């Protein structure tokens, strides 16, 4: 009887070597976060959005520069957007979601840990013994690894589109908030000027009434108009403060940083509106939300094909 424990070890078959190499390489997929910034910057630049800042350089240094810029010059729409690119809490949350998407990709291209088995057999009262070492891998993971890696990368591209769309949305929201604030401020100044004018008119009417030149009804009308104008001026002032608070929240300013100045007036309306059909064409070809939805549809269809193709294998392993 040949004792297996003393038999010569046979060379490992090539297929087993290939399987082992595939298993090792499956866990070596990595991503360079710097490429994310480059890709997202290009998507934003193609659509006229400002460049980002805090994810590329030291955040503390960038925030100091942003504070100096806000304090040194009036708050314009461009300055508001540039500051938001550095300070917006929404952008920090968005980039955190991109990091989660990157982790999902790395998880998708991993093969499950191999299962190792050890056993020792010996005849009771007889010579010889046998020692068995086994390694098994889930067969489905090995067969679907290339397809899963491809779908994971497509899903990561979808996440990039969604992040770029969210960043573009933040810049547009900040710009819109700036226009609302400047518009509300101008309305408040106009209401205050009207209230001051009507108050002067009411004071003059009181002098006319005291001289007997107008009736009491005319005097009360002037006073009522002045009181109504003062109420509308107060409401407009409150609306301006609320618009300023909304803008500060969108940018990410707080405390003394929110005490900025603005002497900008609204620009005149455009002479001609953009053609609706041209806007629709641009949306169909360049919309980040649409591009992300298309990638998501491709990923969902691919995942469905993988499920249909390998659903019968179940927990089958190879070892």
Domains and CATH numbers, the chain: 26-266+285-311 (1.20.1600.10)
Angstrom distance (rounded) from CA 77 to CA 69:
13
The DSSP secondary structure of 61-111, one letter per residue, reads HHHHHHHHHHHHS---HHHHHHHHHHH-HHHHHHHHHHHHHHHHHHHHTPP
Residue 32 falls in which region: left (phi positive, over 0), alpha (psi -120 to 50) or beta: beta
Give the orientation angle of helix 59-72 with respect to helix 77-87, to 10 degrees: 160
Contact 138, 111 (CB under 8 A): yes
Tens place of pLDDT per residue across the chain (319 aa): 444 444 344 444 545 444 444 544 444 445 555 566 677 777 777 776 666 654 444 445 555 555 555 666 888 888 888 888 888 878 777 777 777 777 766 666 666 666 777 777 777 766 777 878 777 666 666 666 777 778 778 887 888 888 888 888 888 899 999 999 999 999 999 999 999 999 999 999 999 999 999 999 999 999 999 999 999 999 999 999 999 999 999 888 888 888 888 877 887 777 788 788 887 887 777 788 888 888 888 888 877 887 777 666 655 555 6
């Amino acid at each position: 009887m040949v004792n297996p424990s003393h038999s010569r070890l046979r060379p490992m078959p090539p297929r087993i070597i290939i399987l082992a190499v595939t298993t090792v390489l499956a866990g070596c997929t990595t991503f360079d976060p710097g490429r994310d910034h480059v890709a997202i910057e290009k998507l934003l630049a193609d659509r006229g959005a400002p460049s980002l800042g805090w994810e590329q350089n030291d955040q503390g240094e960038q925030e100091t520069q942003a504070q100096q810029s806000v304090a040194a010059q009036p708050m314009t729409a461009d300055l508001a957007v540039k500051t938001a690119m550095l300070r917006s809490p929404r952008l920090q949350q968005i980039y955190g979601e991109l990091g989660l998407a990157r982790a999902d990709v790395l998880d998708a291209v991993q093969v499950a840990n191999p299962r190792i088995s050890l056993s020792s057999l010996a005849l009771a009262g007889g010579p010889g013994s046998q020692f068995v070492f086994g390694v098994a891998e889930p067969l489905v993971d090995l067969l679907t690894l290339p397809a899963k890696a491809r779908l994971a990368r497509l899903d990561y591209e979808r996440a990039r589109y969604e992040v770029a769309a969210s960043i573009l949305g933040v810049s547009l929201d900040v710009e819109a908030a700036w226009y609302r604030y400047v518009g509300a401020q101008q309305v408040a100044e106009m209401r205050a000027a009207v209230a001051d004018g009507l108050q002067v008119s009411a004071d003059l009417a009181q002098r006319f009434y005291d001289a007997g030149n107008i009736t009491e009804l005319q005097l009360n009308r002037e006073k009522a108009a002045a009181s109504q104008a003062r109420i509308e001026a107060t409401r407009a002032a409150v609306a301006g403060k609320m618009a300023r608070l909304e803008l500060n929240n969108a940018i990410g300013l707080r405390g003394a940083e929110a005490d900025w100045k603005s002497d900008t007036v609204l620009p005149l309306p455009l002479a001609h509106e953009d053609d609706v059909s041209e806007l629709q064409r641009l949306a169909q070809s360049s919309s980040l939300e649409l591009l992300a939805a298309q990638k998501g549809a491709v990923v969902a269809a691919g995942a469905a094909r993988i499920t249909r193709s390998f659903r019968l294998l179940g927990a089958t392993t190879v070892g």
